[in-house]
Structure 1
Amino acid sequence: MAAHWFGARLVERRAQTATGRTLVLDVPGWPGHLPGQHVDVRLTADDGYQAVRSYSLAAPADGERVELGVQAVRDGEVSPYLADVLPTGARVELRGPLGQWFVWRTGQSGPVLLVAGGSGVVPVTAMLRAHRAARSDSAFSLLYSVRDPDEIWYREELAAPDDRLDVRVLYTRRAPRGEVRPPGRIAAADLGPAPAGPGTVYVCGPTGFVESVADLLVGLGRPAADIRTERFG
């Protein structure tokens, strides 16, 4: 079924980092979505000018309520407005759900490795939340690369104990006191050896990050067909 435009109303905004925001919207008639999918958001000015940008869904389907992750981009046309200016109760348009490849389904078997860079953690968090809600037996691991501790999204949620989820945060510029791994870009040693059996890897983040991680994974013996990527920037 082709995606079409829905009217949406902003009901809540939550800060994640200095420039990252969670937007919660009510979307009457929303058909639901899969963890990992995204939407287009359209804003229309009083003079009729329109701007459209894509944003990832941060939570599994929940009736007509949709949660997005928005990273404000310096000098951006849309993201700073959505992040800090759009008033609660304001209306926008959403088109979706979009994307069928970068998704996790509760019936999937085998271990899952999630690799996220910066705000690329948004769609994989939808997968984590769906995995938790479904009480899936699939082993989940998250490698989350950020520049410094201040840029971690969903800090408390990712730090909460969960015996079905292994989370490791990697720092590229500044690590917190006591961190054993020195700051630096993600490397083959961080990704570890490929598993003996089948599994799926989801990689999301800036284009350069995604391409580097995908190359490292293939070099470690991961079949390219098992690596699903979503990139931005």
Structure 2
Amino acid sequence: MPRTTRAPRLVGAAALALAAALALTACGSSGDGSGTTKVTQQKDASPYEGTKLVKNFEKPDLQLTDTSGQPFDLRQKTNGKATLLFFGYTSCPDVCPTTMGDIGVAMKKLSPEERQKIDVVFVSTDPQRDTPKVLRTWLDSMGSDFIGLTGDLEKVKTAAKSLGIMIEDPVVNADGTVTSTHGAQVLAFLPSDDKAHVLYLGGTEVKTYEHDLPLLAQGVAA
């Protein structure tokens, strides 16, 4: 079956703030994971291998439901911790499991003390199917302490838009599969100001996360 993929666009002021040429992939209902994402990266003295953002985005004001079925306030619950934020859905065949799996591999290389200083947050773009139970089962294969959030899709779309990430409503295909189109970025928020300072695109290698996560845990400035 051919892969369904689209290129979500960056929107409004967020597009200008990134100050980079982005070609963003999205997950489809099937595929081989060969989608590409490109970025023009500034050369600077940043200690991070991820892309340093020109503008540091505010952490979204987002209240959803976590995998235990309890209300979760993103800003409040992750305040003062390094946070990796990614939007996707559990039935994605390529970008989502690859991205979260790679982060999970890198997190396992950290010491217990370092891991406690980083929150990895996965926000569902297909909340009708991604119930708290479904999210927990899916995330546990990558990181048992990963945070999964699901709920009002309009809230999710608004939060993503504030970060320059476009999300479209899920589409049910003729064969019953679902396509959820969304940006492939992971944003890293530093604990010092709870703002996004570093960007990782779909296809980022594990070694990049392995290099950067200890820096994020330490709160090293980008």
| TM-score over 0.5 for the pair | no
Higher relative CO (Cα under 8 Å, sequence separation at least 6) belongs to 2
- What TM-score, normalized to structure 1? 0.31
Decide which structure has greater helix share.
2
- What TM-score, normalized to structure 2? 0.32
